[in-house]
């Protein structure tokens, strides 16, 4: 897991690193500078003019160091250092001194008035005005400068974080006074704000660059936010032992489908079967029998009394666990049957789609859901459950509270899906792609998580690993069929390869 720290915690990690590595602050900056230049070189040739904007703190120190290293490599660079208060951090002052050692460097230090340079689409701006030390929204001259840079056609690359953007909560920020970068190269871990859809316009494409941090400081510094890596998922899975049988791997019950939405049941069931489950029974309205038995001979079918939708809670004794929701519909009889079903279960279940919509309009059911159950809402479904939010950040905080209050695991689906556990932790998966924004994709995720839960994985593990495998399958499907050409069924077809890649 990569820990995602609040920006103020980074300072503590820096301090610990400087004291215990030991490494001098100026050398830490130089590491950041080298990491940035190594990445920058891969994207921008010497054909571009590089215009560096540096601030007074260590983000500015990075910027001045980057200017120096790029000049050493014969890039054409001009540098503006903004120093309205006349104070530079020690590392910034030292990097200014080192930069000025270079003959004929084009360097301007601005104390008050500033006439901005003309910037064309061939220029690349390096934004090193403010980094993790930003402590209030930009105003005055800095706000004007940021607005000017944004108004030009120049490409913008931000150091660590776009200037003006906070690392976490931007609800109170002035949205016009934030650099709109094309790329952000950030140090050691993504900032939480990078994972919010509303900030994509500022962050652009982002990449984490590793610089030395003391491992003990990283290990000891607490956080509630984590980025899941392939290695984390690889070690979750136990090898399947030779002397095992289908009973070893659980018997899942999927309650899904209604007339016109039977495909959701089929997709979810297919994904569940491809996730290593021992047996799967699908509880369906009568109209789904032929389709399910034909499309998925591996699945067993348990028929509802009704022809078109779910009306009678099945006996759950034979099953290890159950998943409810894909394509279920929202009939009153379905709500009653769901209520009955939730009253009968005691072990964690997976709830998705219409199961969540029914719960949103019949909140009593919420109290009947077994603790540590997994809910997989997309943003609109979550808003129906917990009330509307003005931003993804606000929704995330609500999802954390909701998960803690109801002792559930909330999988908030989005470009970067957040898994919020009842302990208040959030696990992010950043694999997957916009090709997965297609009908049935969520049904597939429900099936995967159900399959893992039935095999006995802890609910939070099943949720995290399920989301990761789903995203990996999505990336494999996009590689084969393209983001536009892929459909949800391709995710199921790619699941086997996803397991092979991850484990």
Q: Which is nearer to K ion, 186 or 266 (CB)?
A: 186
Q: Which is nearer to ligand LZDS7PUF, 56 or 376 (CB)?
A: 56
Interaction with K ion in 8-67: which residues (CB under 5 A)?
59
Does the annotation flag 302 for ligand binding? no
Q: Which stretch binds K ion (CB under 5 A): 80-88, 106-114, 123-131, 401-409?
A: 123-131
Does the annotation flag 121 for ligand binding? no
Does the annotation flag 16 for ligand binding? no
Rule CB under 5 A: say whether 158 interacts with K ion. Answer: yes
Question: DSSP assignment of 136-203, as one string?
Answer: S---HHHHHHHHHHHHS--EEEEESS-TT--SS--TTS-GGGS---SEEEEESS--GGGGSGGGHHHH
Question: What is the C-alpha end-to-end distance of the chain, expressed in Å?
Answer: 16
Question: Residue for token digits 């301007």?
Answer: 108
Q: Which is nearer to K ion, 95 or 373 (CB)?
A: 95
Question: Among 89, 150, 163, 441, which residue sits at the site for K ion (rule: CB under 5 A)?
Answer: 163
H/E/C letters for each residue in 286-329? HHHHHHHHHHCCCCEEEECCCCCCCCCCCCCCCCCEEEECCCCC
Residues that bind ligand LZDS7PUF (CB under 6 A): 10, 14, 28-29, 32, 55-60, 62, 89, 130-136, 138, 142, 159-160, 187-188
Rule CB under 5 A: say whether 159 interacts with K ion. Answer: yes
Interaction with K ion in 59-78: which residues (CB under 5 A)?
59
Q: Which is nearer to ligand LZDS7PUF, 142 or 427 (CB)?
A: 142
- As given in the structure block, the two tokens for residue 13 are 């990690």
Measured in degrees and rounded to the nearest 5, phi and psi for residue 439 equal -55, 130
The Cα angle at residue 58 between residues 57 and 62, in degrees rounded to 5: 130
E strand spans, 210-276: 225-227, 251-255
Q: How far is the CB of 52 from K ion (least distance, A)?
A: 11
Does the annotation flag 416 for ligand binding? yes
Q: How far is the CB of 170 from ligand LZDS7PUF (least distance, A)?
A: 13
Interaction with K ion in 131-150: which residues (CB under 5 A)?
131
Q: How far is the CB of 224 from ligand LZDS7PUF (least distance, A)?
A: 19
* 106 Cβ contact list (under 8 Å, min separation 6): 77, 78, 79
Does the annotation flag 276 for ligand binding? no
Residues contributing to the site for K ion (CB under 5 A): 59, 127, 131, 158-159, 163
Q: Which residues are annotated as a binding site?
A: 58-62, 127, 131-137, 160, 163, 264, 327, 378, 413-417, 442-443
């Amino acid at each position: 897991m990569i820990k995602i720290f609040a920006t103020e915690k980074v300072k503590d990690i820096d301090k610990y690193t400087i004291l215990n590595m030991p490494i001098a602050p100026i050398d830490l900056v130089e590491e950041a500078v080298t990491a940035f230049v190594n990445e920058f070189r891969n994207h921008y040739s010497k054909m571009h003019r590089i215009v560096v904007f540096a601030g007074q703190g260590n983000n500015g120190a990075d910027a001045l160091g980057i200017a120096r290293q790029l000049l050493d490599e014969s890039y054409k660079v001009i540098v503006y250092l903004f120093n309205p208060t006349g104070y530079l951090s020690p590392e910034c002052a030292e990097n200014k001194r080192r930069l000025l050692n270079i003959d004929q460097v084009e360097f301007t230090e601005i104390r008050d008035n500033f006439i901005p340079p003309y910037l064309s689409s061939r220029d690349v701006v390096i934004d090193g005005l403010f980094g993790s030390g930003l402590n209030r929204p930009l105003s005055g001259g800095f706000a004007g400068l940021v607005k000017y840079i944004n108004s030009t056609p120049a490409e913008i690359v931000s150091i660590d974080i776009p200037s003006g953007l906070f690392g976490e909560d931007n609800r109170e920020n002035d949205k016009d006074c934030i650099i709109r970068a094309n790329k952000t190269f950030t140090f050691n871990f993504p900032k939480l704000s990078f994972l919010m859809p509303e900030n994509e316009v500022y962050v652009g494409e982002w990449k984490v660059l590793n610089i030395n941090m003391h491992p003990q400081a990283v290990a000891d510094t607490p956080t509630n936010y984590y980025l899941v890596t392939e290695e984390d998922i690889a070690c979750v899975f136990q090898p399947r032992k030779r002397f095992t049988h289908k009973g070893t791997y659980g018997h899942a019950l999927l309650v899904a489908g209604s007339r016109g939405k039977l495909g959701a049941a089929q997709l979810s069931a297919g994904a569940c079967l491809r996730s290593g489950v021992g047996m799967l029974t699908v509880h369906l309205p009568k109209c789904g029998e032929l389709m399910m038995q034909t499309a998925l001979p591996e699945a067993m079918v348990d028929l509802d009394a009704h022809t078109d939708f779910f009306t009678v809670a099945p006996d759950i004794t034979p099953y290890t666990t159950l998943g409810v929701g894909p394509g279920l519909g929202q009939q009153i009889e379905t709500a009653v049957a769901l209520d009955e079903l939730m009253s009968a279960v005691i072990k964690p279940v997976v709830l998705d789609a219409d199961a969540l919509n029914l719960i949103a309009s019949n909140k009593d059911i919420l109290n009947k859901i077994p603790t540590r159950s997994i809910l997989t809402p997309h943003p609109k479904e979550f808003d129906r459950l917990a009330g509307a939010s003005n931003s993804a950040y606000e929704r995330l905080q609500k999802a954390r509270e909701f998960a803690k209050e109801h002792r559930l695991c909330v999988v908030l689906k989005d470009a970067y899906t957040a898994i919020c556990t009842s302990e208040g932790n959030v696990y992010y998966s950043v694999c997957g792609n916009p090709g997965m924004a297609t009908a049935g994709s969520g049904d597939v995720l429900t099936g995967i998580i159900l399959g893992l839960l039935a095999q006995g994985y802890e609910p939070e593990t099943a949720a995290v690993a399920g989301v990761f495998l789903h995203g990996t399958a999505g990336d494999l499907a996009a590689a084969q069929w393209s983001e536009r050409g892929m459909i949800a069924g391709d995710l199921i077809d790619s699941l086997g390869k996803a397991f092979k890649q991850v484990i």
